[in-house]
Copies of this chain bind each other. A is one copy, B any other.
Amino acid sequence: MKTLPRHSGVFRAFALGALLALATHALAQTDPLPSWNDGAAKKAIVEFVQTTTTQGSPQFVPPAERIATFDQDGTLWVEHPMYSQVMYILESVPALVKAKPELAKVAPFSTVLEVLKGDRAAISKLTMPDLEKLAAATLTGMPVATFQAEAKKWLAEAKDPRWKKPYTELTYLPMQEVLKYLRANGYKTYIVTGGGQDFVRQYSEAVYGIPPEQVIGTAGGTKYGYAKDGKPFLTKEPKLLLNDNNAGKPEGIHLMIGRRPYMAVGNSTGDQQMLEYTKAGDGARLSMLVLHDDAKREYAYGPAQGLPATKVGAFTQALYDQAKKRGWIVVSMKDDWKRIFAFE
């Protein structure tokens, strides 16, 4: 290596430049959550990460135990006016009817065709058992690889009606920052969703940087078998193994991870038990709920705090009161988030 003359002007100028560059870099690094406004929520996240990852902290968590779990719909991305996977199920019906024309006149398939033709009122005719029937027909009974290809195709083409963008772009930038911040500090980030595990796994890595094995969702069984050429394959079965909602969330976490998260984030009553379970652990634990109170930039629904009621991702007043009582953080989209989407 060619050495610079020590203590010369050139050397000092170089050293000063390097120091300045380092300082600028350090300043740019000081805010890991630039899309968050300063406030209790942002402060709680930063304090939680510092407390649990600083060597010598009384609440230090060894890297192997750093687990954080996130609900998806309404927590990491938009869930209104309807969960994207429900849109997938509905929009898969025409192809299903094409393959089995006898279904065209049979409810609930006929009802879905009316909805897709523009009869929005028809959607209210669909009951929960209808939706289960539709889910079984569109999500099961085919090889895993066929489902994966169909889901990927839909995800590439389908668009949200309001923003006219692929659903996969409607993720919340502030939450993407939280995921990255946690990972940069040694946390393993998991999705724990009521949505279909196989569905969410098709895009979790590209959209959130979360690999399929860190997606826990509502899961059905598969059946191992052989094709005519002897090649083995798995078929998706209409057999529910895990309903990953409500109590199913901590149960699913135990099944798939086997230890309690240190941080959990949700946005609806379906996340209550996951947040309780997380917060009940020893040491520093962070439970957090996203409140959709921003009708202008996204949507406003509760019914907590007098917000409009909804059937999609309800955040009840009881859940709000529980959060306040137990020290869970409630994030106001309106007040806590400087930006909502990366494309804004």
Contact = CB atoms under 8 A, between A and B. Distances in A.
Interface in A249-273: 250-251, 254-259, 273
Contacts of A336: none
Contacts of A276: 232
Contacts of A247: 223-224
Chain A binding surface SS class:
mixed
Nearest to A226: B276
A66 B208 CA distance: 19
Given A212-B259, A224-B250, A259-B212, A64 B205 contact: yes
A239 to B, nearest CB: 11
A233 B233 CA distance: 37
A307 to B, nearest CB: 27
Interface string A56-74: 0000000010010000000
Interface stretch (A22-30, A123-131, A161-169, A214-222): A214-222
B224 A251 contact: yes
B241 A254 contact: no
Count chain B CB atoms within 10 A of each CB in A144, A251, A258 and give the residue with the most: A258
Given A201-B258, A241-B241, A232 B273 contact: yes
Contact of A222 (B198, B223, B234, B251): B251
Within the oligomer, what is the number of copies of this chain? 2
A219 B273 CA distance: 21
B277 A251 contact: no
A21 interface: no
Interface in A49-104: 64, 67
B215 A258 contact: yes
Contacts of A198: 258
A197 interface: yes
A213 interface: yes
Contact of A258 (B212, B258, B280): B212
Given A215-B258, A241-B255, 8 more contacts: A144-B254, A197-B255, A213-B259, A219-B255, A224-B251, A234-B251, A234-B254, A241-B242
Interface of A: 64, 67, 144, 188, 197-198, 201, 205, 211-213, 215, 219, 221-224, 231-234, 241-242, 247, 250-251, 254-259, 273, 276-277, 280
15 contacts: A64-B205, A64-B211, A188-B213, A212-B258, A212-B259, A213-B213, A215-B258, A222-B251, A222-B255, A224-B250, A231-B280, A232-B276, A232-B280, A234-B251, A234-B254
